[in-house]
Amino acid sequence: MLRKLLFWSFAVVFPLPLVLTYDAVATAPETLKFYIFLGLIAYAWWLLSVLLSVRPSRLDRFVGMPSIYGLHGMLGILAIIAAYVHRDNSYSPSSLARDLGDWSFYGSLSVLCFSVFFLSGWLVDRSRLLLRIKGFLEIAFRHQFSVWIHRLNLVIVTMIWLHAHLLVRVNQYFGFMVLFDFYTVMTLGIYAWKKWIAPDAYLQGTVASSDMLGGSTRKVSVHLDTRAATLRPGDFFFLSFKGSSSVSGEWHPFSVTDDDRETLTFTIRQHGDFTRRLDNVELGTRVRLEGPFGRFESIIQGHDREAPLVLVGMGAGVAPLLSLAAAHHTTRDIHLLWSVRTPEDAYYRDVLKEYEAASEGRLQVTVSVGRFRRRDLLDALPVEHIAKGAFFIVGPNLAVVAIRRLLWRIGVSPRRIHQERLTM
Ligand SMILES: Cc1cc2nc3c(=O)[nH]c(=O)nc-3n(C[C@H](O)[C@H](O)[C@H](O)COP(=O)(O)OP(=O)(O)OC[C@H]3O[C@@H](n4cnc5c(N)ncnc54)[C@H](O)[C@@H]3O)c2cc1C
């Protein structure tokens, strides 16, 4: 909680140098200054939002990817509100500056609405109907297309930068403009570095095996060129397959399934364009891996060592939980609950049996064909688990939301429930 507060307070601090410098140098009337401050705050928040979009791995270890994307989205909304008040209450003699301001405002509003629907779970995680509409529309508006629409924000940032440079009320203050340009160049520089230069330094490896598991899941192993020294149980990577004619180089997130740091294994449910094409990925294909990301292990380390771990996986969501079980089955009390669609989808039954046998009674596994209902959870979980356990839920968004609600209802405190949803 403290970490999140610290992280969010950075959003308050980030625009301050711009606002305070402008306040110190500008001679505009106070009321007008206030609306210019709002414009500066909106701009700084857009820049911060761009910085968060590069997925800083240290920040992920500090607060977790959902918090990073959460603040990224919230800043988009708050910036629009600040920009609206700024636009409605300030004026400019330059028609080009006015036009750039207007285009930026309407452009960012449109991109925001589009992204809230297609890229965030804010709407689709709350309604099956909206999720179905999104799935239908994604036949045309593929995820990657939505990502490109989202990147129009960079054009908007450039337009706002030009807008500020055309305003005499702003551009006459040399010191302020140096700071303003520094913010912009630093942000765009970090973005460009992260997109085009940093990937050369990411972990790389070669597809060593690719096998079907059940009817719609594939197990892909990647033998790394160098050991993943910073990998922790429960982590995930963004993978990009290079030089394969059958699969594109898009970055997709997948969790590591065991505790091997030399050959990473991924359990991939094949339901969309990209994942289905993995059928044709050739052995020997080169893979780049951005990461590792994830906070499950540090959360476990922060919990009472005597408290049981309750791992609830749905479908391929079992992947990170399996790696947690691999790491802790001999030292912690673990109850792993795994729901699958069909009996064939329980493809890790044997692996789980091995862990169970090696755990000397510390690991207990419950596999269910069909989702867990309230009664199943009450039957499977002893009172001590409900009262003290640390819960980790991983699966498709709606399923995670439903299980979390069930757990609350049977008495698990929200503070002990941790989750990973299989969409960003
Ligand atoms: C932290 C995390 C860990 C994950 N771990 C696993 C795992 O271990 N096993 C597994 O099977 N799945 C995992 N997923 C889900 C997996 O990344 C998506 O199912 C996959 O990227 C969908 O690709 P697609 O083009 O085949 O499907 P599509 O049908 O095109 O997309 C389905 C949905 O997946 C999301 N998606 C699509 N492309 C991307 C992308 N490039 N980046 C982020 N989200 C995208 C979108 O919300 C989209 O609506 C994980 C997701 C996250 C966020």
pLDDT tens-digit profile of 298-327? 999 998 888 999 999 999 999 999 999 999
Q: Is 273 a residue whose pLDDT tops 90?
A: no
Asked whether the beta carbons of 293 and 65 are under 8 A apart, the reply is yes
* Alpha carbon distance 340, 387 (integer Å): 26
For the residues 200-217, what does the mean pLDDT come to? 93
Distance CA(348)–CA(315), nearest Å, equals 11
On the question of pLDDT at 259 being above 90, the answer is no
| pLDDT band at 243; cut points 50, 70, 90 | confident
Secondary-structure class of domain 304-421 per CATH: alpha beta
pLDDT value of residue 173: 96
* DSSP 8-state secondary structure symbol assigned to residue 290: E
Give the closest residue (by CA) to ligand 1 atom 34. 423
Q: Is the pLDDT of residue 93 over 90?
A: no
- Give yes or no for residue 245 having a pLDDT over 80: no
Determine whether the shortest distance from the Cβ of 422 to ligand 1 is under 6 A: yes
CA–CA gap between residue 274 and residue 259 (Å, rounded):
26
Atom of ligand 1 nearest to the CA of 422: 51
| CA atoms of 420 and 236, how far apart (whole Å) | 10
How many percent of the chain have pLDDT more than 70? 99
Ligand 1 atom 4, closest CA: 254
Domain ranges of the chain: 2-199, 202-294, 304-421
Domain 2-199 has CATH 1.20.120: yes
375's CB contacts (< 8 A; 6+ apart) are none
Mean pLDDT of the chain: 94
Which fold does the domain 202-294 belong to in CATH?
A: Elongation Factor Tu (Ef-tu); domain 3 (2.40.30)
Q: What is the pLDDT of residue 333?
A: 95
- The pair of three-digit structure tokens given for residue 345, joined into one six-digit string: 């989808």
Query: Confidence band (pLDDT; 50, 70, 90) for 167?
Result: very high
Can you state the percent helix, strand and coil of the chain, rounding each to 5? 55, 20, 25
Summarize the confidence of residues 4-33 as an average pLDDT: 94
Across the range 276-286, mean pLDDT stands at 92
Tokens representing residue 200 in the block: 């050369």
For ligand 1, pick from 251, 296, 423 the residue to mutate: most ligand atoms within 8 Å of CB.
423
Say which range, 41-45, 277-281, 334-338, has the weakest mean pLDDT: 277-281
Of the pLDDT bands very low, low, confident and very high (cuts 50, 70, 90), residue 337 is: very high
- Minimum CA distance residue for ligand 1 atom 27: 272
- CA 25 to centroid of ligand 1, rounded, Å: 49
**List of residues 6+ apart from 3 with CB closer than 8 A:** 62, 63
- Asked if residue 240 has its Cβ within 6 Å of ligand 1, the reply is no
- Non-local (6+) Cβ contacts of 265 within 8 A are 219, 220, 221, 222, 256, 257, 258
Ligand 1 near 247 CB (within 6 A): no
Report residue 168: phi and psi, to 5°. -60, -35
Q: How far is the CA of 252 from the centre of ligand 1 (A)?
A: 6
Rounded Cα gap, residues 411 and 390, in angstroms: 13
Q: In what order do the strands lie in the sheet with 252-255?
A: 252-255, 236-242, 286-293, 203-213, 217-224, 263-269
Residue 424 has pLDDT above 70, yes or no: no
pLDDT, mean of residues 73-88:
96
CB 235 within 8 A of CB 320: yes
